[in-house]
Amino acid sequence: MFFRTTGRRIVVLGGGEQAAQKTRLLLKTDAQISLIAPALDPELDHLVETGRARHDRTLDAKSFEGAAFAFIATGCPGFDAAAHALAQAARCPVNVVDRPELCDLTTPALVDRDPIVVAIGSEGTAPVLTRDIKTRLEEMLPQRLGGLAELAGRLRPAVARGVPRSRRRAFWAWVLKGRPREDWVRGREREAARAIKSAISAGGAPEEAVGQVALVGAGPGARDLLTLRAVTRLQEADVIFYDRLVDPEVLELARRDAERVFVGKHVGTHAWPQDRINAVILAEARQGKRVVRLKSGDPGIFGRAGEEIAALRAAGMPVEIVPGVTAASAAAASLGETLTERGVSDTLILTTASAQDGAPPPDSTRFAAPGTTTGFYMAVRQARRIQGALLARGMTADAPVRIVIDASTSGEQRLRCSLGTLCDTLRSAQCTGRAMILVTWPAQQMAIPAAPADLPAHADPEKDLVEHIA
């Protein structure tokens, strides 16, 4: 039930923290708040001083008369029961805190997008579950949604005058589910309001032909590491393009009727060429669809997002970038460590050991020095080359190395070793794929370049490590 509170009194019996919790809920309404207690805590006392609530020190038979409902929160079981009897005699619905058997009403968990309010209740049986459901709904409903609902309410008379009855349903569907809503929740309120008013003047919603593209970071694997914005874009998408590094559980966050298109590469098969991916994304968007290009980690970190952005912008298609949790951050979090540490590592380097087909391997160790932590992406097959290059730069063989395989997923492995045992550790773990290698060169260690005697030169370091693992 939703109670109308305008011009009505609500009683809160109690002056401590429990009473304050209920009063905070009432502050979201325009009710007349009546506090009854011999003394009030500072928070409640401030409400009285500012005129937001009134204070009565004593409870009597008339305290509940005419009240819309009441909260009883004194913390004394006997006094609460007596107050409950007085409330019943006055026919005032009542909630007695932590006494479900004495409650005529219970307070739900609320998702508040005023004037849109969602209430979740369990009749007092499972408050932890209701809070979990609340959290999920908070993720689904944008914070700005209430403002759009308020605008819609203000414009209803204008719509009644300017939009024919036969077109109103389609008009409101466009406002509340189409481009105006998308603009509004993304912070473009003025543009949304201008478009809505123009449509009213034109007698109905316009035909929309231009879609939207979002490059969304799926994070390292775990679906609960996606940002709220990433979840929102997945739930808005008409079509989603994804690759093999995206965990299937992440796709479960998308709309059930969204089209899912795999554009990655499985072992033994060919990947989609990048120009083909660019072309199909653009083609879908030009049909007016909301397109999500879902990339593992952060699309701006070794995700080849630049090529797709350039192609879309060249075609005049707007594109949004939604950042994600990158693998280096997820790996460090799984290890329970930080990527930087005062006095040990004050510089963080993110680099890749892989290159475009036909190009020589990048010099991914060129910035390594005392006081740095280097996160190596896509580096397993280049581990021996990295190991040799770091040793040659002066890093000692006992420098700490952490390896996290499939960070944040159910198959995650966390390994620790020294630089000198890096290749052996990867071989023992039979690691040939997705792994983040973190190497810290402590600040106090001096760089003494030396050619390692136990690492012979190899004509093909990638082949060497693959054979070594095999």
Mean pLDDT for 199-211 is: 81
pLDDT of residue 438: 97
Question: Could you report the per-residue pLDDT of 344-403, keeping only the tens digit for each?
Answer: 999 999 999 887 777 788 899 999 999 999 999 999 999 999 999 999 999 999 999 999
Whole-number mean pLDDT of the chain? 87
pLDDT of residue 459: 39
Active site residue 265: yes
Catalytic residue from among 80, 238, 243, 406: 243
Active site residue 243: yes
pLDDT of residue 210: 65
pLDDT of residue 469: 39
Least confident segment among 128-132, 190-194, 423-427, 450-454? 450-454
Only one residue has tokens 């190497």, namely 439
DSSP secondary structure letters along 430-458: T--SSEEEEEEE-TTSPP-----TTS---
Contacts of 201-206 with C-beta under 8 Å, sequence gap 24+, read: 201/162, 203/162, 203/163, 203/164, 203/167, 204/163, 204/164, 204/167, 204/170, 204/171, 205/167, 205/170, 205/171, 205/173, 205/174, 205/175, 205/178, 206/174
Catalytic residue from among 224, 265, 346, 398: 265
| Confidence bin at 468 (pLDDT 50/70/90) | very low
Percent of the chain scored above 90 by pLDDT? 61
Percent of the chain scored above 70 by pLDDT? 92
